[in-house]
């Protein structure tokens, strides 16, 4: 077994603080203990980063070459970045979180997959190419190289051998293969559809890529509606699985409820009734088909006052052929927001309420007007029934289009109430939207609760032969993946005049993008593929005749819907992933922003569920095809923002005097600016370059500061002025690694324990054998000082030493839980600060404490390593160089953690500390004590444990050694509130019961003639009074 070979530490002499008064340290360090100050620490931490980054990169290959096959697996993955060229603080937060968790799992003994890659296709690269006159690939690859350097500088450890780029033909070849697998199963199809068209980016958008204001998610342009032939994926076939499997994701909070709620809302399942409204035309008869309507409130059918149709409903198209005013409205409606209340009344077209088939009521028999309205969506039937008396949106639409006409209601809050009409302008002109009771004269429906009324209405309609059926409706539409742009995966379809759409044979994949000259992109928008006649021209693989390639490319969310599989098998040329490697799915922890809840995350779940149905992921059925076990959505990072209190104008950093960071002043006016934390943007001048922060303070300081500032799911208000606190703490950690906790004269004799994670009792036995641990004195009568039992070993430690070790174990347990269960990384930093202070501030009491502090410091460094890896490595190297300097000839090594990476003594080879919670009861200096009077329990309190020097027995005669235990126990009881209440001299309940103020001759703390028995080391106390007065005293009590 190799000895512990340590690297020299050239700067360690600058790291020693003033020692606690109770200990001293070698003169070698005393003259330099004041040298480390903030300005030197500023330069020190970046130097440490650079040193260890170089060493890690030199040993990178070893990490992946020597991986034991029998390890447990852990797959930790951040959402891979788009290569914009610059990492921002949001990136840094995501990748810091994932790196911390990956390092922690590695130290726990897992074989960790922590890959990184690049979501490299997309509009931004193509638009940048258009602006700059360069090829999108050139721009993308340059940005990837820049960002790789930035990511390495942040101190992360990535599986670079698994790196992927979605723009590589070897990646999008498999993207095309998955598309063909979907096509073969009827899950990919081409159809004419009214689509969302972005006039700026000149491409089609999926519904999910259009915001609530009808604008493009990327360009911000007002989306237009066009009829185009497009490619779709049948995500709707998986809607039930996507919805119901979320219950499993919600267990134990594995997925944030916010994300699940957003997906449930987007899937939009609702239960209701399909109703049919007969259409009447003043000039035509039986030419228009009935209007089908889905409603979740069929109980309000009796109060329907209009029907609204979407802009593309067949009736609207037919009516527009002859109605010029309608055509004008349809043209204008293209620019109206989706929630617009503007409508257009159709001429000569009305509908009949289906309830008129079984109701004899003038209002219900009245003809119902029909409107065209932008708020009605095209999915489903493209029609809604308007009930202004019981729906806010319908009420607003009716008032905007029908003015002051009265509004009917048919639902009341109580079964015996009567409905009244809503009068325009009155205080009562508000819809009742809650469910209630039907107020109508119809037998069988009158006064029924809303839900029961729905069932009865459906039965009445069906009895009359009117179409009415309870059903469910979904908001989710099929996924439109066609994009009319160049920089994306070509859709592998060939269009033949004879055969129609024909899939490209698998052996001909990938269908590669043509290499166009840089100048081709300059100033051009739209789809270059459609203009490349040479690339489009091909042969039909089915009949051999001339044909054309599909010129649309895939939505880039297709690239990211399965990339986590590819990381497991990045070199596979034949398949997206082999069944053998896919068994490493699902991802254990996935880290990314909540903004991807209904785009990337929904699509990824869909494609994963599909792959679980194929041979690519045979084990996927065991997890319902869900790709991510645990989802962590980090909060946004907000920047410190300054604004002029007089004008509200945002101020540039150079306009503010920050000589005193806590008292900023506007240079031009001398006025204190308004300070807030807001989303970072160029217009607010509050952006922060993480590279500059890392260069100034070092990656470890930046990482720890970022994690400490806020829980990972909360918004992080980035305030660099407080980073010095983290800097000082890590400086204390490094100074601690100079072994300042070892008594100065004991340094040359100090020999580290033989095991790193040695149980306390084994450590104490080792210290006893080395004559370092001294036995407790005056143990008992005929026994001299001995160290035999576990209790006696522990008792040899001073109470403060027991408390020290107890706190160390509690912190290990808390940190482990925060890393592995709650992911409270800010709590981890807080706990490690507490441990640092505990080691420094606990006064020296014996040589044994030096060993406890040494072990505590090794635990501290290993728990720190995932967050501040370079500082932990530096401290580890320093600590062991100093403490093993006199024993190098013995080739010391921790036998419980042999080096497994070619002689490397990286801290990451020595595992994560394992808390020894079982020792806590033996270390806890307190115990529960039950106090009884005449055998009846009066109270129970926590008291101190009796020291080992007090005998734990009461059978040495009436006044023997037991008196020490009794007096100790009574004194402990008197320090508690309950104890004072019962035992306080002359005032306590016991004294009042006794009827005397005279103390006992034997037990001065008890009343005269009272006796006491203490057993179980003071855990049980029973006092008894004189027998003759016992009944009187009990009754008086």
Give the DSSP per-residue string, 684-714: GT----HHHHHHHH-HHHHHHHHHHHS-TTS
Report how far apart, in Å, the C-alpha atoms of 1027 and of each of 508, 560, 955, 1012 are.
105, 86, 22, 14
State the Cα–Cα distance between residues 919 and 1024, nearest whole angstrom: 36
Q: What are phi and psi of 466, to 5 degrees?
A: -90, 140
Please indicate, yes or no, if residue 585 is contained in any of the structural domains.
no
Please indicate, yes or no, if residue 101 is contained in any of the structural domains.
no
Asked if 282 and 430 sit in the same domain, the reply is: yes
Residue 956: Cβ within 10 Å count: 12
Decide if 388 contacts 300 (C-beta within 8 A): no
Q: Which residues, in sequence order, are bridge partners of residue 1022?
A: 932, 1013
Sheet containing 188-198: give its strands across.
203-205, 188-198, 224-233, 479-480
Asked if 912 and 766 sit in the same domain, the reply is: yes
Decide if 159 contacts 114 (C-beta within 8 A): yes
Asked if 777 and 908 sit in the same domain, the reply is: yes
Angle at 32 between CA 30 and CA 35, to 5 degrees: 140
What is the model's pLDDT at position 897?
54
Asked if 212 and 340 sit in the same domain, the reply is: no
Of 33, 146, 17, which Cα lies nearest the Cα of 81? 146
Location of structure tokens 């370079």: 870
Decide if 791 contacts 785 (C-beta within 8 A): no
State the Cα–Cα distance between residues 118 and 160, nearest whole angstrom: 12
Q: Which residues, in sequence order, are bridge partners of residue 679?
A: 638
Structure tokens at 891: 């080739």
Q: Which residues of 102-119 are buried (b: 16+ CB within 10 A; e: fewer)?
A: bbbbbbbebbbbbbbbbb
Please indicate, yes or no, if residue 837 is contained in any of the structural domains.
yes
Residue 417: Cβ within 10 Å count: 13
What is the model's pLDDT at position 208?
66
Omega within 30 of 0 (cis) for the link into 510? yes
Of 929, 876, 554, 566, which Cα lies nearest the Cα of 734? 876
Q: Which residues, in sequence order, are bridge partners of residue 553?
A: 483, 490
The residues, ordered by sequence, that sit 6+ positions from 343 with a Cβ below 8 Å of its Cβ are 308, 371, 372, 373, 374, 397, 400, 401
Please indicate, yes or no, if residue 710 is contained in any of the structural domains.
no
State the Cα–Cα distance between residues 421 and 753, nearest whole angstrom: 88
SS3 annotation, 74-89: EEEEECCCCCCCCCCH
State the Cα–Cα distance between residues 237 and 103, nearest whole angstrom: 39
Asked if 462 and 526 sit in the same domain, the reply is: no
Decide if 793 contacts 768 (C-beta within 8 A): yes
Asked if 383 and 443 sit in the same domain, the reply is: yes
Asked if 516 and 461 sit in the same domain, the reply is: no
Burial class (CB in 10 A: 0-12, 13-18, 19+), 1031: exposed
What's the CATH number where 831 sits? 1.10.730
SS3 annotation, 199-260: CCCCEEECHHHECCCCEECCCCCECEEEEEEEEEECHHHHHHHHHHCHHHHHHHHCCCHHHH
Q: Which residues of 888-919 are buried (b: 16+ CB within 10 A; e: fewer)?
A: eeeebbbeeeebeeeebbbbbebbbbebbeeb
What is the model's pLDDT at position 776?
66
Structure tokens at 897: 């953690």
What is the model's pLDDT at position 853?
94
* Strand pairing category for 437-438 and 468-473: unpaired
Q: What are phi and psi of 966, to 5 degrees?
A: -65, -50
Asked if 845 and 786 sit in the same domain, the reply is: yes
Asked if 950 and 965 sit in the same domain, the reply is: yes
Structure tokens at 1021: 């106390």
Structure tokens at 243: 């919805």
Domain boundary, last residue among 904, 919, 934: 919
Asked if 796 and 744 sit in the same domain, the reply is: yes
CA torsion, points 840, 845, 850, 854, in degrees to nearest 10?
-40
What is the model's pLDDT at position 952?
61
SS3 735: helix
Please indicate, yes or no, if residue 680 is contained in any of the structural domains.
no
What domain count does the chain have?
Answer: 4
What is the model's pLDDT at position 285?
62
Q: What are phi and psi of 166, to 5 degrees?
A: -70, -15
Burial class (CB in 10 A: 0-12, 13-18, 19+), 1000: middle
State the Cα–Cα distance between residues 387 and 188, nearest whole angstrom: 38
* Strand pairing category for 468-473 and 291-295: unpaired
Average pLDDT for runs of 10 along the chain of length 1037: 32 35 37 47 85 87 52 92 89 96 95 96 84 89 94 93 97 98 97 84 76 77 84 97 96 94 94 94 73 95 96 90 91 82 93 90 88 88 95 95 93 88 90 92 85 94 93 92 93 96 97 88 77 94 95 96 98 96 97 90 98 96 96 91 88 88 88 88 82 93 96 90 92 92 74 86 90 65 52 86 93 95 96 97 90 95 98 94 67 49 70 89 85 94 79 49 81 92 90 88 87 89 78 48
Which helix H or strand E contains 716, and what residues bound it? strand 716-718
Tally of CA atoms within 13 A in the half-sphere of 618 that contains its CB:
5
Domain boundary, last residue among 410, 445, 473: 473
For helices 38-58 and 699-709, angle between their N-to-C axes, nearest 10 degrees: 110
Asked if 382 and 454 sit in the same domain, the reply is: yes
Burial class (CB in 10 A: 0-12, 13-18, 19+), 620: buried
What is the model's pLDDT at position 64?
52
Asked if 405 and 497 sit in the same domain, the reply is: no
Q: Which residues of 190-207 are buried (b: 16+ CB within 10 A; e: fewer)?
A: beebebbbbeebbbbbbb
N-term to C-term CA, the chain: 73
Decide if 372 contacts 309 (C-beta within 8 A): yes
Domain that holds residue 404: 270-473
Please indicate, yes or no, if residue 1032 is contained in any of the structural domains.
yes
pTM of the full predicted structure? 0.83
Please indicate, yes or no, if residue 259 is contained in any of the structural domains.
no
Decide if 1011 contacts 1003 (C-beta within 8 A): yes
Domain boundary, last residue among 557, 586, 601: 557
> Residue 834 CA to chain centroid, in angstroms?
25
Decide if 611 contacts 562 (C-beta within 8 A): yes
Report how far apart, in Å, the C-alpha atoms of 131 and of each of 112, 483, 741 are.
42, 20, 62
Please indicate, yes or no, if residue 518 is contained in any of the structural domains.
yes
What is the model's pLDDT at position 19?
39
Location of structure tokens 């939207």: 433
State the Cα–Cα distance between residues 952 and 930, nearest whole angstrom: 17
Angle at 949 between CA 943 and CA 955, to 5 degrees: 85
Tally of CA atoms within 13 A in the half-sphere of 495 that contains its CB:
10
């Amino acid at each position: 077994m190799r000895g512990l070979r340590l690297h020299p530490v050239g700067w360690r002499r600058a790291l020693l603080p003033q020692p606690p008064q109770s200990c001293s340290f070698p003169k070698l360090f005393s003259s330099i203990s004041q040298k480390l100050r903030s300005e030197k620490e500023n330069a020190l931490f970046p130097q440490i980063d650079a040193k260890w980054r170089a060493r890690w990169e030199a040993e990178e290959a070893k990490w992946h070459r020597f991986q034991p096959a029998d390890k447990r697996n852990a797959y930790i993955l951040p959402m891979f970045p788009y290569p914009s060229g610059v990492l921002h603080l949001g990136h840094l937060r995501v990748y810091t979180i994932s790196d911390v968790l990956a390092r922690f799992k590695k130290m726990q003994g897992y074989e960790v997959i922590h890959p990184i890659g690049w979501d490299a296709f997309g509009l931004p690269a193509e638009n940048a190419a258009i602006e700059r006159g360069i090829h999108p690939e050139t721009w993308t690859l340059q940005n990837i190289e820049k960002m790789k350097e930035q990511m390495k500088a942040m101190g992360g450890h990535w599986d670079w051998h698994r790196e992927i780029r979605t723009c590589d033909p070897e990646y999008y070849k498999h993207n095309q293969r998955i598309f063909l697998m979907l096509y073969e199963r009827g899950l990919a199809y081409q159809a004419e559809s009214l689509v969302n068209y972005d006039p700026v980016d000149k491409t089609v958008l999926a519904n999910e890529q259009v915001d609530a204001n009808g604008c493009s998610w990327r360009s911000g342009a007002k989306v237009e509606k066009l009829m185009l032939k497009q490619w779709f994926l049948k995500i709707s076939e998986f809607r039930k699985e996507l919805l119901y499997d979320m219950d499993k994701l919600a267990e134990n909070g594995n997925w944030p409820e916010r994300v699940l709620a957003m997906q449930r809302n987007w899937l939009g399942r609702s239960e209701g009734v399909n109703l049919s409204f007969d259409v009447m035309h003043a000039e035509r008869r039986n030419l228009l088909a009935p209007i089908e309507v889905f409603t979740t409130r069929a109980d309000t059918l009796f109060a329907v006052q209009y029907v609204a149709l979407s802009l593309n409903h067949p009736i609207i198209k037919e009516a527009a052929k002859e109605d010029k005013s309608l055509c004008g409205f349809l043209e204008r409606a293209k620019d109206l927001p989706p929630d617009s209340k503007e409508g257009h009344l159709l001429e000569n077209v009305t509908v009949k309420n289906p309830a008129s088939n079984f109701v004899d009521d003038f209002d219900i028999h009245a003809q119902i007007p029909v409107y065209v309205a932008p708020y009605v969506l095209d999915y489903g039937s493209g029609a809604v029934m308007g009930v202004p008396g019981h729906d806010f949106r319908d009420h607003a639409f009716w008032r905007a289009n029908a003015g002051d006409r009265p509004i009917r209601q048919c639902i009341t809050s109580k079964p015996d109430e009567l409905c009244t009409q809503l009068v325009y302008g009155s205080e009562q002109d508000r819809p009742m939207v809650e469910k209630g009771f039907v107020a109508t004269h119809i037998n069988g429906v009158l006064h029924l609760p809303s839900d029961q009324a729905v069932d009865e209405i459906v039965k009445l309609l069906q009895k009359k032969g009117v179409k009415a059926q309870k059903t469910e409706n979904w908001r989710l539409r099929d996924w439109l993946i066609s994009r009319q742009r160049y920089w994306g995966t070509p859709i592998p379809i060939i269009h033949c005049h004879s055969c129609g759409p024909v899939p490209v044979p698998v052996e001909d994949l990938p269908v590669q993008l043509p290499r166009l000259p840089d100048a081709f992109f300059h100033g051009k928008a739209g789809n270059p593929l459609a203009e490349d006649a040479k690339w489009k021209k091909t042969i039909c693989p089915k009949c051999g005749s001339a044909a054309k390639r599909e010129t649309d490319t895939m939505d880039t969310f297709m690239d990211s819907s399965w990339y986590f599989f590819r990381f497991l098998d990045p070199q596979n040329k034949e398949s997206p992933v082999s069944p053998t490697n896919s068994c490493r799915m699902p991802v254990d922890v996935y880290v990314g922003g909540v903004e991807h809840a209904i785009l990337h995350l929904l699509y990824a779940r869909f494609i994963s569920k599909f792959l679980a149905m194929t041979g690519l992921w045979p084990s996927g059925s065991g997890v319902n095809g869900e790709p991510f076990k645990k989802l962590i959505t980090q909060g946004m990072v907000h920047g410190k923002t300054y604004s002029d209190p007089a004008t509200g104008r945002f101020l540039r950093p150079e306009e503010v005097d920050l000589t005193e960071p806590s008292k900023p002043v506007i240079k031009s006016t001398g006025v204190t600016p308004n300070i807030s934390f807001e989303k970072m943007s160029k217009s607010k001048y509050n952006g922060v370059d993480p590279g500059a922060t890392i260069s100034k303070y070092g990656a470890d300081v930046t990482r720890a500061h970022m994690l400490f500032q806020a829980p990972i799911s909360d918004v992080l208000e980035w305030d660099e002025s407080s980073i010095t606190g983290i800097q000082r703490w890590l400086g204390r950690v490094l100074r601690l690694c100079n072994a300042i906790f070892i008594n100065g004269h004991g340094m040359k004799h100090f020999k580290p324990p033989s095991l790193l994670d040695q149980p306390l009792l084994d450590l104490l036995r080792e210290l006893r054998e080395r004559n370092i641990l001294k036995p407790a004195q005056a143990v008992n009568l005929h026994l001299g000082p001995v160290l035999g039992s576990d209790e006696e070993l522990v008792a040899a430690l001073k109470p403060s030493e027991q408390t020290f070790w107890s706190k160390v174990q509690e912190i290990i347990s808390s940190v482990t839980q925060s890393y592995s269960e709650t992911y409270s990384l800010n709590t981890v930093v807080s706990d490690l600060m507490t441990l640092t202070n505990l080691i420094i501030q606990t006064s020296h009491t014996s040589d044994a404490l030096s060993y406890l502090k040494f072990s505590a410091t090794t635990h501290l460094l290993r728990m720190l390593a995932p967050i501040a890896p370079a500082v932990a490595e530096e401290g580890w190297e320093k600590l062991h160089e100093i403490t093993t300097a006199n024993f190098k000839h013995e080739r010391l090594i921790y036998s419980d953690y042999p080096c497994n990476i070619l002689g490397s003594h990286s801290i990451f080879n020595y595992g994560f500390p394992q808390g020894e919670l079982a020792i806590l009861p033996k270390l806890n200096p307190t115990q529960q004590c039950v106090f009884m009077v005449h055998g009846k329990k009066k109270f129970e309190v926590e008291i101190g444990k009796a020291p080992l020097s007090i005998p734990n027995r009461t059978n040495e005669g009436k006044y023997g050694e037991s008196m020490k235990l009794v007096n100790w126990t009574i004194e402990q009881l008197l320090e508690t509130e309950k104890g004072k209440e019962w035992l306080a001299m002359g005032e306590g309940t016991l004294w009042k019961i006794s009827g005397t103020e005279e103390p006992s001759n034997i037990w001065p703390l008890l009343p005269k003639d009272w006796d006491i028995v203490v057993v179980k080391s003071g855990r049980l106390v029973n006092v008894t009074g004189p027998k003759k007065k016992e009944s009187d005293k009990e009754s008086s009590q």
